[in-house]
Structure 1
Amino acid sequence: MTRALPTGWTLSASAFNLTPTVIAADRTAPDVAASLIEEGLATHIEVELGQLWRSFPEPSTAEATAFGERLARIDGRVSIVGGSLDDWTPAGRRRSEDERYAFLEPQLRATAEMGATGLRLPLGQAGPVLLGRLVPLLEELDLVLFEEAQGQGAPGNPGAAPAYETLARIDSPHVRLLLDISMLMPALPTTYLEQLETAGLPSDLVRRLRDEWQDPATAAAVVDVLRSGAVPPQVHTLYMNLLVRFGRSSIADVVPVLPLLSAAHLKFWDLDDSDARVSQPIRDLAAALHRVGFAGTLCSEWGGQEWLDDDPLATTRAHLELASAALADGAASLAA
């Protein structure tokens, strides 16, 4: 049973969590996404346009409308839609700003037809010119374009800072920040570390990753080992998470940008919370969000399917229970 959250907070679940079920192809992707509501896990879900329909990136009005109506009949709805912006044509030519706009417009219209709050893109990908051009369309459709910051894209990262500045400069309720708590990892997932150790990664680096993840010197060691060629080929893709998807920031690092925030991803990799490495970032974020009067969705998103074979539905259910308790504890801590 989920615990009461502050007014205006909605705990949701991402259909991305069920990607292994989609790949199995025993049911259609819309059927799989709807199961999150049908099975009682959530009333609000996030969906990925590219996963729902083969018509992507130009989903039809009919299929978008039908999906939104289907969820409404079971007292559910789409919260945020994962979109995509391909900056290159199939021929390898960079798209012009007009072409980039045209690539996104059908996705935004489908998002509106589903009855969703908005569409999500990676932080900074759209860029200031396109974001500015999109505001009138977003106003027309009553949608929010969410720019998602995750992993090592903290405000203090020089490469990410201009994107945060653009959001603040546009200052529109239709262009907002979505924060993924993969930015706030006090330690790496235990099952991830096991994968690296089993594959034969240098033992000293595994020790540092386990015990000294937040030490800036560990980041340099990660790069050194990669350059040395010592990363076993079978975990090379997993290893790259250390450079992009896993962050080491503290909640204090993101507090300055929280006024730009209207949604968050409660990213998790596994459910080993013996030392609160999963729940503590959620508590910290909840306290900070409550302090700034946040309203929006907080979505369970599972990234560990990359290396785990756990049941996606059961894993999501368990995480929602953990996240609900952590959010309630974090928000209540201000009154303590």
Structure 2
Amino acid sequence: MTDTAPGLPRLGTTLFSLTLEQRRPGRDFAGLVREVAARDLGPGLEMVAFQSLRGWPRLDEAAVREVRGVIDSSGLTPSCLAINLDLGLYPGRLLSDDEAFEYVAVQLRGAAELGFPVVRVGIECGPGIMGRLLPLAEELGVKVGVEIHAPLTIEAPPVAALKELFTRLDTPWLGFIPDMSATMRAVPDAVDDAHRVAGISPELTALTKQLWAEPGPTMAKFPELERRAAEAGATPAQLGNLRMLFTMHGRMAPERWAEFFPHVVHVHGKFYGIVDGQDPSIDWPAVARVLREQDYTGFISSEYEAHAYSDRHNAFDQVRAQHDMLKRLLEAEPAVTAR
């Protein structure tokens, strides 16, 4: 597998990028993994457990052997397994703290059996659960990373609470997984495709993009968006699509990812399309600088998410284009570090 130079972040792919491919007739887990390897889109392999693994979170020994066999024979390296805490698992109530811990713990054990060194959890895994997971993470040798996804920022109270916990515990087994959705410079063109299909007028899309680009916290803009979109004739269903534009695409400056270090255990290389070797929506040169300056040598999982909006482009080709761009940026003359 082609990799970056020693001492740099490593490249990989999450199967989530291939969501539409997984739904095609004749596609299966083994075939997708083999194609990722054949197209040299590793060496790292990430997957979403509930998306790719039938029977998760309780796999029998035969299933574990089969999954490990597929990955081992591909030559790819397991990088991260995305797991979930479904607090609303039961109708009419949320999981108790003990139930939530056990629900994540069984998945952490499953990740270890499958050979994954990192798991991704969501922000709902707060300091209480993360602190309880530490002994198990150490025992299994699996790091637990909380994904920082739009609309979260470093200032968000749940993120700040986790930062305090990680600093106090000073452990390599708990940390953050930055997702570049939180730090975008433009709304991707794929959104326009989805809005057209939903019957949203170009004027409503332009209004939402204008509000998104204005200074200020994204979440604070919701009342104005709802008022002005309603005045422009948006239906409740269309308003839901417009709100998603705000929640899926964050505005945090990319340089602020440095504030999450040294507690970064994995990186989600979210992107919505590469055009002529560049990413119009995400400032990857700035992100690459941060990763180099922070001496990050873990994996970046290419996470193509334009499939949420449009099937216009081939996901394999898009991941290839991002890998080429990232390799070029990461192997450029390194910036002088401030440390």
TM over 0.5: yes
> Taking structure 1 as reference, are residues 145 and 195 closer, same or farther at Cα in structure 2, changes over 3 Å only?
same
Q: Alignment partner for residue 243 of structure 2, among 213, 218, 240?
A: 240
Report Cα offsets for 1:314-335 as digits up to 9, x if no partner: 2222222222223333x62449
Corresponding residue of 2:322: 319
TM-superposed deviation, 1:101:
2.1
TM-superposed deviation, 1:238:
3.8
TM-superposed deviation, 1:19:
0.7
Structure 2, unpaired ranges of 5+: none
SS at match of 2:206: helix
Report Cα offsets for 1:220-254 as digits up to 9, x if no partner: 55542334534456655542333322111112333
2:318 partner letter: T
> Taking structure 1 as reference, are residues 202 and 35 closer, same or farther at Cα in structure 2, changes over 3 Å only?
closer
SS at match of 2:257: helix
Structure 1, unpaired ranges of 5+: none
Percent sequence identity over aligned pairs: 22
Partners in 1 of 2:219 and 2:327 — Cα distance?
32
Instruction: Note if contact 2:182-2:249 (Cα within 8 Å) is conserved in structure 1.
Output: yes
Q: Which deviates more, 7-16 or 217-226?
A: 217-226
Aligned residues: 332
Instruction: Note if contact 2:218-2:246 (Cα within 8 Å) is conserved in structure 1.
Output: no
> Taking structure 1 as reference, are residues 5 and 232 closer, same or farther at Cα in structure 2, changes over 3 Å only?
farther
Q: TM-score, normalized by length of structure 2? A: 0.86
Partners in 1 of 2:223 and 2:300 — Cα distance?
33
1:104 partner letter: V
SS at match of 2:244: helix
2:224 partner letter: D
Structure 2 residue 186 is matched with structure 1 residue 187 = yes
Partners in 1 of 2:196 and 2:219 — Cα distance?
18
Partners in 2 of 1:120 and 1:212 — Cα distance?
28
Instruction: Note if contact 2:11-2:44 (Cα within 8 Å) is conserved in structure 1.
Output: yes
SS at match of 1:92: coil
TM-superposed deviation, 1:107:
1.4
Q: Which deviates more, 240-249 or 128-137?
A: 240-249
Corresponding residue of 1:142: 141
Corresponding residue of 2:67: 67
> Taking structure 1 as reference, are residues 328 and 217 closer, same or farther at Cα in structure 2, changes over 3 Å only?
same
Instruction: Note if contact 1:60-1:110 (Cα within 8 Å) is conserved in structure 2.
Output: no
2:316 partner letter: L
SS at match of 2:186: coil
1:319 partner letter: Q
Partners in 2 of 1:76 and 1:179 — Cα distance?
22
Q: TM-score, normalized by length of structure 1? A: 0.87
> Taking structure 1 as reference, are residues 170 and 34 closer, same or farther at Cα in structure 2, changes over 3 Å only?
farther
> Taking structure 1 as reference, are residues 273 and 152 closer, same or farther at Cα in structure 2, changes over 3 Å only?
farther
Q: CA RMSD in A?
A: 2.9
SS at match of 2:81: strand
Partners in 2 of 1:219 and 1:273 — Cα distance?
32
Q: Which deviates more, 234-243 or 315-324?
A: 234-243
Corresponding residue of 2:257: 254
Instruction: Note if contact 1:197-1:206 (Cα within 8 Å) is conserved in structure 2.
Output: no
Corresponding residue of 1:173: 172
Partners in 2 of 1:240 and 1:129 — Cα distance?
30
2:242 partner letter: Y
